[in-house]
Amino acid sequence: MNQLAKDWRDRLNELIGHPAFLPATFLLYIGLRALLIAFVPVEPSSDFAWYHNRAVGLVEGAGYSEGGVPTAFWPVGWPAAAAGLYWLFGKQVLVLQIANLVFGALTFVLVVALGRAIFASEQAARLGAFLLAVYPNNIAYASLSATETFYTFLLLLGTWLIVAGRRMPWAIAGGLVFGYATLTKPQTLLMPMILIAIPLLFTRDRQQWLTALRRLTGVYLALALVITPWLYRNYQVFGEPVFISTNSGWALLVGNNPSALAHRGFPTDGGPEVLALRKETFTVANQVESNRRAKAAAVAWIRDNPGTFLLLMPIKAFSLWSVDGEAEWSFQIGTPWYDDHQTAFRGVRILNQVFYLAMMTGFAAGAWLLWRRYRRLGDFGTVAPWALAGYGFAAITTLQCMVMAGSYRYKFPLMPFIILTCAWSASCWLQSRATAPAGRPRVIRLA
């Protein structure tokens, strides 16, 4: 039995290392997403439709507006990028779906590049790319006019520029990319700081600290260069400073109100308190004051219910990470024949959940392997300290959800980091087990 298992692992190692494995995986990656776009129609809904409509308005000369009134309710990054695509290729959702294929293909390339740069493992890079290729929830987003596929590409590109580059021009380029990513999702603001700070956790060298400080300054000056024109626009439109968007108060309220506990801390737009305040205060023209009122209501509820607020925090964190496959919701309301094929859709959702739990198990195993290696060697060996980036990004995303409102979608851009770490864990296991002599105790050697 042991020999059979060893032979199986040897064959798997050979398969992953085969010259055709990576090109075949790329074709699989693109093919699965293209087939979904071609054969499963889905109409934009909710904020996805909102992004589409704002992009159309930009192309038609209406500016970033809703009903003729300037807006900043949701971040401008993705609608502006979509508007550029519509201007070039026509105002059809299919244009965004094809763009998702392109951004997805670039994401695939970046996953391989980051696997090589961070884990110094060709096998982990290849296996990570394969796991991302067959990840159902990632596949599903290729059909949706959502920010997630585009933003994931930006996050990976900015990370790669900072991780792979050793000179200031690379850091500045990374800052420019992170700047646009911040216009797409404002919570990006702290992520470059995490990347630059991670190596400093393992050194006391004064020169490295000074170099990191210079890089940090360059990154954030570049980031500021990108977002400042939008901040100025918002000041001109609303008459007061507005950072990126005008919905932060509502994001805080939907996760902190009398209905939040019943909804496990998830966005409760349909809660009676939220609906009542929105009906009372919200218009596009009054969105800044309405956002202020929502924030005040959330803060008042937290102040009056500190125990419930604290109780909700771990519940929100658990809800964020326990379930995956939220893309199904868009097909439920946007695919005309969803009801006739609900069993198939739900089967894919269950399969996705099993896959997701396996990835999270590998992510947890990666933390243990990294800790074990550092304890034994005093460093991570060939693995770069940026292997901790996924954990840092996960921590800041979890904290955001614990304070505000959880959403399955918040972890979507983090999944390539999680999958890469899982792939590295699997690679360590495959290599050590495949090479262990038969009949002797098998010791995992971290490659």
Q: Tell me whether residue 75 is in a domain.
A: no
H/E element holding 69?
strand 69-70
Q: Tell me whether residue 284 is in a domain.
A: no
Half-sphere exposure of 205 (CA within 13 A, CB side): 8
Q: What is the distance between the alpha carbons of residues 86 and 141, in angstroms, rounded to a whole number?
A: 19
Q: With the C-alpha atoms ordered 412, 416, 419, 421, is the resulting torsion angle positive or negative?
A: negative
Cα–Cα distances in Å, from 415 out to 10, 187, 269, 272?
A: 28, 16, 26, 34
Q: Tell me whether residue 439 is in a domain.
A: yes
Question: CB of 418 within 8 A of CB of 360?
Answer: yes
Q: What is the distance between the alpha carbons of residues 431 and 424, in angstroms, rounded to a whole number?
A: 10
Q: What is the distance between the alpha carbons of residues 128 and 108, in angstroms, rounded to a whole number?
A: 9
What pLDDT is stored for residue 445 in this prediction? Answer: 34
* 399-415 residue pLDDT tens: 999 998 767 889 999 99
**Is residue 70 classed as helix, strand or coil in its secondary structure?**
strand
Q: How confident is the model at residue 430 (pLDDT cuts 50, 70, 90)?
A: confident
Question: CB of 188 within 8 A of CB of 178?
Answer: yes
Question: Phi then psi for 69, rounded to 5 degrees?
Answer: -105, 130
Q: With the C-alpha atoms ordered 177, 57, 282, 239, is the resulting torsion angle positive or negative?
A: positive
Q: Note down the domain range covering 16.
A: 1-39+97-146+323-447
Residue 51 has pLDDT above 80, yes or no: yes
What average pLDDT does the structure give for the chain? Answer: 91
Q: How confident is the model at residue 31 (pLDDT cuts 50, 70, 90)?
A: very high
Q: Tell me whether residue 396 is in a domain.
A: yes
Q: What is the distance between the alpha carbons of residues 300 and 278, in angstroms, rounded to a whole number?
A: 16
Q: Tell me whether residue 205 is in a domain.
A: no
Q: Tell me whether residue 151 is in a domain.
A: no
Residue 385 has pLDDT above 70, yes or no: yes
What pLDDT is stored for residue 266 in this prediction? Answer: 62
What is the number of domains present in the chain?
1
